[in-house]
Structure 1
Amino acid sequence: MSQPSRALVLFSGGQDSSVCLAWALERHDHVETVGFDYGQRHAVEMAQRQVVRAGIVERFPQWAGKLGCDHVLDLTGFGAVGETAMTTQRAFEITEKGLPNTFVPGRNLVFLTYAAALADRRNAGFLVGGMCETDFSGYPDCRRDTLDALQTALNMGMAQDFVIETPLMKLTKAQTWALSKTLGGEALVELIVADSHTCYRGERGELHAWGHGCGDCPACDLRVKGWNEWVAAGRPELAL
């Protein structure tokens, strides 16, 4: 008999990682989550992580029994190194390198390295992340070739056979909304709209059709654009 598959989801509490959590719960036998406190200015996402997890347990009994422990790792020291718009109160802009100043250098590399160390202890062979090339905002550590190289390095350095899964890698934000409907129907869409958090400014005032947020930071721009495209297309599901 094959061994039960165990996955660790990099779970920020945002739209993408919430869809990835549902995706992992649909495919794996046991799923745990890990979040990273790196001093992000939108620290409200850390609180919303628990709201989303509780909502999944309440609304999706087919997944509730698969959802295991949550872990939070303190990476505030790392976050302070980059001095980006993600960790300091500064305007969002493009840097001299042509990258948005929301890019935290090496963030996904560090996150996945810490996640792999945790996965080794938790006996999880799959690391699931919401990295995406299609709507990646210019972040070079969201590219699949970067993650393939890291996967090789982690497995060589830890004598493991980790698989880094990136279910959103080739999807637009509109397709990510469609995938959420495929996985959990309107109930999952509603949960992501109301309870996930993506806005870089940490705004959780008015609930818009697409969710909470300021509406004009880089994260909100992508989320709103994807929502509008998905709605204009008739709110379809995504064929798997």
Structure 2
Amino acid sequence: MNKEKAVVVFSGGQDSTTCLFWAKEKFKEVIAVSFDYNQKHKIELECAKDICKKHNVEYHVLDLNLLNQLAPNSLTRQDISVDKDAPKEGPPNSFVDGRNLLFLTFAAIFAKQRGINAIITGVSQSDFSGYPDCRDVFIKSLNVTLNLAMDYQFEILTPLMWINKAETWKMAYDLGAIDTVKEETLTCYNGIKGNGCGECPACKLRKNGYLEFKRQYLK
């Protein structure tokens, strides 16, 4: 296996940016891949591009507009508001059916063409927001499926899988990336850079994690 190169599934948000810097520590060459599915918070692609340019990371955007057509929800439709609170049952209305399945599959195709085995994604089962495609069992299952489908040895790496948001902030801090994550990323479902709108679930999770990080680690 090629241990020197990696592809990062990169949205320009907190988690994927932390993973990007983690990858830069672990691999000699890192390529970032984003996906345009006409998401409501499409400005994230500009954030991703800017971060990669600033830190000398090769960057690509792949077209997945079909996902928007197939999966109408609060991240793909202007007339559907993001739920402020988690539902009592089922995933939130910000869950895009098949998104991580498709992202990782297309990232794997991209990686194989370049002789790259490692694919890095920022999913977390500890802070998975009710998204079934952020679970470890899904990642492991897909890893096996991709290997069989392409007769190629992929390794999907998930540095954030078992850590919470406070620990993710700590990782960014240890990597020297906390200012980039705080100021240059876009996590907000309503498309507001940095601290975001403060109201959507992603912003609340990010803020609470940061406050807990400061309480635990910046004494």
Distance 1:38 1:97, change over 3 A: farther
Secondary structure of the corresponding residue to residue 72 of structure 1? strand
Q: Identity over the aligned pairs, expressed in percent?
A: 40
Secondary structure of the corresponding residue to residue 35 of structure 2? strand
- Asked whether the equivalents of residues 155 and 161 of structure 1 are also in contact (C-alpha less than 8 Å), the reply is yes
Distance 1:158 1:183, change over 3 A: same
The residue aligned with 1:75 is 64
Within a 5 Å distance, the mapping from 1:147-166 to structure 2 comes to 147-166=139-158
Question: What do the CA deviations read for 1:77-126 (whole angstroms, capped 9, x no partner)?
Answer: 11221101111121223568521000001110110000010001111110
The residue aligned with 1:23 is 22
RMSD value, Cα? 1.6
Matched, 1:198 2:197: no
Instruction: Pick one of 172, 189, 214 that aligns with 1:180.
Output: 172
Matched, 1:92 2:72: no
- Asked whether the equivalents of residues 134 and 169 of structure 1 are also in contact (C-alpha less than 8 Å), the reply is yes
Report the Cα distance in structure 1 between the residues aligned to 2:197 and 2:50, rounded to whole angstroms. 20
- Asked whether the equivalents of residues 6 and 31 of structure 2 are also in contact (C-alpha less than 8 Å), the reply is yes
- Asked whether the equivalents of residues 38 and 74 of structure 1 are also in contact (C-alpha less than 8 Å), the reply is yes
Matched, 1:45 2:44: yes
Report the Cα distance in structure 1 between the residues aligned to 2:178 and 2:55, rounded to whole angstroms. 11
Give the count of matched residue pairs. Answer: 216
Matched, 1:222 2:211: no
Report the Cα distance in structure 2 between the residues aligned to 1:3 and 1:113, rounded to whole angstroms. 19
Question: What do the CA deviations read for 1:189-211 (whole angstroms, capped 9, x no partner)?
Answer: 1111111111000124xxxxxx3
Matched, 1:104 2:87: no
Secondary structure of the corresponding residue to residue 34 of structure 1? strand
- Asked whether the equivalents of residues 32 and 52 of structure 2 are also in contact (C-alpha less than 8 Å), the reply is no
Report the Cα distance in structure 2 between the residues aligned to 1:234 and 1:23, rounded to whole angstroms. 19
Secondary structure of the corresponding residue to residue 21 of structure 1? helix
- Asked whether the equivalents of residues 195 and 207 of structure 2 are also in contact (C-alpha less than 8 Å), the reply is no
Query: Quick one: which amino acid aligns to residue 91 of structure 1?
Result: S
Report the Cα distance in structure 2 between the residues aligned to 1:141 and 1:3, rounded to whole angstroms. 26
Matched, 1:130 2:130: no
Report the Cα distance in structure 2 between the residues aligned to 1:120 and 1:3, rounded to whole angstroms. 11
Report the Cα distance in structure 2 between the residues aligned to 1:3 and 1:52, rounded to whole angstroms. 25
- Asked whether the equivalents of residues 4 and 30 of structure 1 are also in contact (C-alpha less than 8 Å), the reply is no
The residue aligned with 1:63 is none
Secondary structure of the corresponding residue to residue 51 of structure 2? helix
Report the Cα distance in structure 1 between the residues aligned to 2:127 and 2:206, rounded to whole angstroms. 10
Distance 1:150 1:115, change over 3 A: same
Gaps of 5+ in 2: none
Report the Cα distance in structure 2 between the residues aligned to 1:28 and 1:81, rounded to whole angstroms. 36
Report the Cα distance in structure 1 between the residues aligned to 2:212 and 2:130, rounded to whole angstroms. 21
Instruction: Pick one of 130, 145, 161 that aligns with 2:137.
Output: 145
- Asked whether the equivalents of residues 5 and 125 of structure 1 are also in contact (C-alpha less than 8 Å), the reply is no
Q: 1:212: how far off?
A: 3.1
Deviates more, 1:87-96 or 1:136-145: 87-96
